[in-house]
Structure 1
Amino acid sequence: MNKLMSAAIAASLAISALSTGFSQPAQAEQVKVPVMSQGDRTAMTMPSTGQSREAVRQRFGDPVSVSGPVGDPPISQWHYDNFVVYFEYNHVIHAVARHNR
């Protein structure tokens, strides 16, 4: 949830609390989940760090789309249905599960 939405919800709750006779505005707690613990990576098969582009293509097929390369060293992304693979030059540096839409 972004900060603007959190603030809007907190403001709405505060107005609601004031109209019902509570003297203290409502407090909202923001829960942060670290990127690497947002999903069960063990349940998915994804490319491993260090694999070559060719090894990824042989095992997972052609990507749905490709982004990059960008920067120095060149970083590119291969987008699959369930994950995104990040390459530095021709080797995997990370694979990330995609958010369910």
Structure 2
Amino acid sequence: MKATHLSLALALATGLLVQASPATADILLVERVQTESAALPARGQSMSQVEAAYGAPARKHAPIAGPNSREHNPPITRWDYPGFSVYFEYSHVVDAVAAKSRPEEIGPKPIQ
């Protein structure tokens, strides 16, 4: 009987300690992007539509085209905003990518 009370007291104490300690977890970039993706520019929008909706970007990078034919390697332009980057093929959005919100956020490994 005493062992049952001791086991019960130990289980309750352990449960209270677990509850009292602060929870920590990794924040995944993928999870945040899934919730914020509706706020990013949509594929197919023009540069003027993006600028009208989101304002002037913090930085506009010069277009970069692949070697040889522009037909097979069109110029890609990147605009950086505080929370995301937008990639354009010619003058239309092909992708918008969220930036990390905090250094501890886990995302893809950088290209080496």
> TM-score scaled to structure 1, two decimals?
0.59
Matched, 1:39 2:27: no
Deviations 1:39-66 (A, max 9, x none): 3333351100000001000000000001
Structure 1 counterpart of 2:87: 86
Q: Runs of 4+ in structure 1 displaced over 4 angstroms? A: none
- 5+ residue gaps, structure 2, are 1-27, 66-72, 103-112
- 5+ residue gaps, structure 1, are 1-32
Show the 5 A alignment for 1:1-101: 37=30, 39-43=32-36, 45-71=39-65, 72-101=73-102
Q: Distance in 2 between matches of 1:39 and 1:47?
A: 16
Identity score, percent:
39
> TM-score scaled to structure 2, two decimals?
0.54
- For the 8 Å contact 1:41–1:97, the answer to whether it is kept is no
Alpha-carbon RMSD: 1.9
Relative contact order higher in (CA < 8 Å, ≥ 6 apart): 2
- The structure in which a higher percent of residues are strand is 1
Number of aligned residue pairs: give it: 67
